[in-house]
Every structure is written in C-alpha cells, then in structure tokens.
C-alpha cells in the first residue's frame, strides 16, 4: 500500500485529507529544549507556540544551547522528507568559534571527518564569513543530521563553538524573525523547505 498512489474510497467517494497540515517556522532561542515536556523543568519550544487544535512535532532537533530555525508540523511525509539523508535537504548554520581556523581545518570540515562514536560525516559546505569583535564566524551547510553534529565536527578539528544558530532549512531562511517568534508557512514556503538553495 502506498498513500501517495493508492486511493481510499468510502461509500463510493474518494476520501481526501480533511484539513491542511500545519507547518510552523519557529526561531528557537537559546535555553529552550526541543521536547514536548521536560522532566527537569526546563523551558520547551512548545511554550513559544500558539494554542493549536492538534499536535505538531519538531522536524529534527536543536540542542538547548543552539538557536535558530526549527520546523514543527503535523505532516509526517514532510517530516520524513526533511530528515531523511537520502533527500539531501541542506541545513545551514552560522557558528562563532573560539579562534580563526586554518585552511587544513576548513578542508577537513569540507571533506568529511570522524566525529567519534563510530560516526563519520559526509562532505559539507564551509565558508569563513569573517572576523568580528566576538571572533571568527563560519557558515556550514550539511544534509545529514547526526546528534550535535556541527559541534562535534568543529571539536574534531580543534575548534570550540561559542555560538551556534541554524539559519536555513533547504531554501527557507530564518530571515528577520526574532528569537521566540513563529510563523505559519505558506505553500511557497513549504516548497522552499524541500529545495536545495
């Protein structure tokens, strides 16, 4: 059975989905966890959402110390498409690091590397954005989602993360949303999520 190709008929009429799926973009602030409830009493991303008539789940996670674009939806097909590595949907991050990386460190990040626990990363797009008063910043795009992957990649080449934010999923960018803000995505936004640029 394939829900994409099979039809469900009830009393001679083709059944269709009764309501549009909900897809929300949230600018997750630092300090919030990406769970429905937390036994340790920490703030969760659900506290930032409006009251909804159904449950939405986070598509992937951002750890407590990471901010940025988090997608929440009740559309399981979309969630699978965004998280399955075979879909090659890039997730793009901006990261402030403790010191300026040299070319060998940048090349190691770009080429894929051992990040411990028997895991190796795929190739990544890595760009040095520049150096501010806070320190050097990188823009990193990956199309996989291993646990705490960006932090582990940088640690593997001797760089410490000072600040980390996801700025895009697919072709959908975080844009001017402030931490804690959310918006419901249009059909065009949803299409952008699945694009690679």
Neighbours of 56 (CB within 10 A): 20
Burial of 127 (C-beta count, 10 Å sphere; 0-12/13-18/19+): middle
Task: Tell me which of 11, 53, 63, 75 is the catalytic residue.
Answer: 63
6-to-17, 58, 76 alpha-carbon distances in Å: 13, 28, 17
Helices (H), 49-129: 76-83, 103-111
82-to-171, 175, 183 alpha-carbon distances in Å: 12, 19, 18
Q: Look up 63 and say whether it is catalytic.
A: yes
Tokens of 24: 């929300």
Q: What share of the chain is helix, strand, coil (3-state, %, to 5)?
A: 20, 30, 50
Q: Which residues are known catalytic residues?
A: 63
């Amino acid at each position: 059975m394939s829900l994409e190709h099979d039809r469900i008929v009830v009393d001679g009429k083709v059944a269709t989905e009764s309501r549009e799926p909900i897809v929300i973009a949230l600018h997750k602030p630092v300090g919030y966890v990406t769970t429905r409830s937390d036994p340790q009493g920490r703030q969760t991303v659900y506290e930032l959402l409006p009251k909804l008539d159904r449950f939405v789940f986070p598509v992937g996670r951002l750890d407590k110390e990471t901010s940025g674009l988090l997608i929440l939806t009740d559309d399981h097909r979309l969630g699978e498409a965004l998280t399955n590595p075979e879909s090659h949907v890039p997730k793009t991050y901006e990261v402030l690091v403790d010191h300026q990386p040299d070319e060998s460190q940048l090349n190691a990040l770009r080429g894929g590397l051992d990040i411990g626990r028997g895991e190796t990363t795929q190739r990544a797009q890595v760009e040095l954005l520049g150096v501010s008063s806070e320190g050097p910043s990188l823009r990193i795009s990956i199309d996989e989602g291993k646990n705490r992957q960006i932090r582990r990649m940088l640690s593997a080449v001797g760089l410490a993360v000072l600040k980390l934010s996801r700025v895009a999923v697919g072709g959908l960018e975080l844009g001017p949303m402030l931490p804690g803000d959310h918006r419901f995505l249009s059909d065009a936004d949803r299409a952008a999520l699945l694009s690679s640029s």
